[in-house]
Amino acid sequence: MIRFIHCADIHLGRTFQTSTDMSDRFIQEAVRSTYDSFEKIVKEAISKNVDFILISGDVYDQKQRSIRGQWFIKKQAEKLLKYNIQVFMIHGNHDPLLNERQMIGMPENVFIFSTEVSHKEYVTSQGEKVIIYGFSYPESAFTENPTPHYKKVENTEAYHIGLLHGQEKGQQGHDAYAPFTVHSLEEKGFDYWALGHIHQRQVLRENPPIVYSGNIQGCHRKETGAKGAYYVELSPSESQLQFIETSPIRWEHHRLSISELQTINELVEEFNETVKTSKEKRIVMVTIEGSGILHDKLSDQRSRQEIITFLYEEWTDDDISIDRIVFDTLPNLQREVWKQQDHLLGDVIRLREEMETDESLSEVLSPLFSHHKIRSYLNDLTVDEHKEIIEKAERMILTTLLEEGKET
């Protein structure tokens, strides 16, 4: 049996993207968070007596790697060397191997794959044979399918592990670098695929394990939840995966419904209970939604701003930062009833349902997403984001029509 830790997308030097002011102490912890997360991974590797650590790309956040970041990796690798723990590493689209000559040399237990797919044979202290395959990006925008270049060495006694930083073709929300399919990886006959590039951890296949470990520290509001690495035990007959959370700061998104609330007091109490149940160190987003009698009050811009101001003051301290509070409440909408009726409200609802099943929204947005200057600032819409735009448009129109009805 072999033991190892699989992590990816460390992004040393990456900054937090938040819309709120944080306390000085929180800012200091945010700046250190990625470094602290990787240091915890190293401590876990030592405590679990692993054979090696796999890093599946984007060790650094930029092509021009900071001296601090490189020195940090060197010092962490030296800790591992004392326990005979190896590090096998590839570089991805953020930190391509433009110059294979490192400005800061790494200790002997660190192996960095070159820009051509190759393999490295290793024998553990227990005599287990392992063959690890991988390559580093030669440039940031590497769009070639790399899987044909992974060629399994004929050795039935060894474990075969692939390192790959790229996008599985079913994934959304990231640039399609080094694209591949799950089937193409399965065909290689490897025992484990250690993937990077997608920041949301996920197991694409259990046998053999084809795994995105996700990034090790969330840095903006789309990177919610626990972040860290996988501890893996691999034997000829089975594999065991254990996720280890190492990120010191967690991004969270909570939804609070006003449906059962009668007063602002109840709203504040519900908000406090929602935030209080969170992780010790976190950046929180709260969406206040649903329909109910509080909607009219929350529709008033002045009232909204007053609520936002005192909630920020109440909760932003050294342990928590409120990133944003979004109001997405509605008057009581009778969608199913109105949908059956021949009037403007029904027309809006029926049109929304048609747009969810056709490509009309994509057609409308196509000139924007294909614009040669604007395109670089936009990410492709996910299915959920596409649906959310349509839902919000329907709510906005229905709410406006109902408000206009009250005035007349």
CATH number, domain with residue 175: 3.60.21.10
Select from 245, 275, 302 the last residue of a domain: 245
Whether residue 135 sits in one domain with residue 18 = yes
286 touches 325 (CB < 8 A) = yes
Same-domain status, 217 and 286: no
Same domain (yes/no): 142, 218: yes
Residues 7 and 82 in one domain: yes
pLDDT, mean of residues 394-400 = 77
Mean pLDDT, the chain, whole residue set = 88
Q: Do 344 and 296 belong together in one domain?
A: no
Mean pLDDT for 312-324 is: 81
List the structure tokens of 107: 């200790």
Q: Structural domain of residue 318, as residue ranges?
A: 250-332
**d(C-alpha 289, C-alpha 280), whole Å:** 25
Last residue of a domain, one of 191, 217, 245: 245
At residue 63, the pLDDT reads 84
**Is residue 359 over pLDDT 80?**
no
Q: Which of these ranges, 69-73, 161-165, 289-293, has the smallest mean pLDDT? A: 289-293
Residue 56: is its pLDDT beyond 90?
A: yes
371 and 292 within one domain: no
Q: How confident is the model at residue 408 (pLDDT cuts 50, 70, 90)?
A: low
Statement to judge: residues 309 and 382 lie in one domain: no
Same domain, residue pair 24 and 134:
yes
Average pLDDT over residues 262-280: 84
Tokens 């044909």 belong to 148
**Same-domain status, 35 and 122:** yes
pLDDT for the residue numbered 135: 97
Q: pLDDT tens, 247-260?
A: 999 999 999 999 99
pLDDT higher than 80, residue 383: no
Neighbours of 332 (CB within 10 A): 10
Q: Considering the chain, what percentage of its residues have pLDDT values greater than 90?
A: 57
Residues 6+ apart with CB under 8 A from 289: 255, 256, 257, 258, 328, 329, 330
Residue 407 has pLDDT above 60, yes or no: no
**235 and 352 in one domain?**
no
Which of 47-61, 111-125, 178-192, 323-337 is predicted with the least confidence, judged by mean pLDDT? 323-337
* CA–CA gap between residue 87 and residue 108 (Å, rounded): 9
Residues 23, 24, 25, 30, CA torsion sign: positive
As a whole number, mean pLDDT of residues 82-89 equals: 98
Q: What is the pLDDT of residue 274?
A: 83
Mean pLDDT, residues 330-343: 76
Are 281 and 186 within one domain?
Answer: no
- Residue 174 pLDDT: 62
Average pLDDT over residues 168-174: 72
Number of domains in the chain: 3
Among candidate residues 332, 362, 389, the one where a domain is terminated: 332
Q: Is residue 78 domain-shared with residue 171, that is, in the same domain?
A: yes
Confidence of residue 380 (pLDDT cuts 50, 70, 90): low
